């Protein structure tokens, strides 16, 4: 079961919730009780923040599969 991360646009309160994928997203903020909660896409957001992982993969690929066509900026 995935953990979903929510954030309230009203008070910026962030919280996580264990939910089944079929459950409806939470809308009401538990803190300020305003209906201003948005669900942050867990996996997607994580991916963006872990940009370094991306870089490493990219680097590996580059090393294995030859020339730098794409990035002449290397070095």
Give the residue with the Cβ less far from Zn ion, 4 or 29.
29
For residue 48, the minimal CB distance to Zn ion (Å) is 23
Question: What are the φ and ψ backbone dihedral angles of 5, each rounded to 5 degrees?
Answer: -110, 135
Contacts to Zn ion by CB under 5 A: 8, 10-11, 13, 29, 31-32
Of 11 and 62, the one with the shorter C-beta distance to Zn ion is 11
Q: In the chain, what is the straight-line distance between the N-terminal and C-terminal CA atoms, in Å?
A: 44
Residue 7, phi then psi, degrees to nearest 5: -140, 140
Of 13 and 39, nearer to Zn ion (C-beta) is 13
């Amino acid at each position: 079961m995935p953990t979903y991360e929510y954030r309230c646009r009203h008070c910026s309160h962030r919280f996580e919730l264990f939910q089944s994928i079929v459950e409806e997203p939470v809308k009401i903020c538990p803190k300020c009780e305003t209906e201003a909660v948005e669900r942050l896409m867990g996996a997607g957001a994580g991916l963006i923040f872990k940009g370094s992982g991306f870089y490493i993969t990219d680097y590996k690929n580059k090393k294995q599969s030859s020339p730098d066509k794409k990035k002449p900026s290397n070095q």
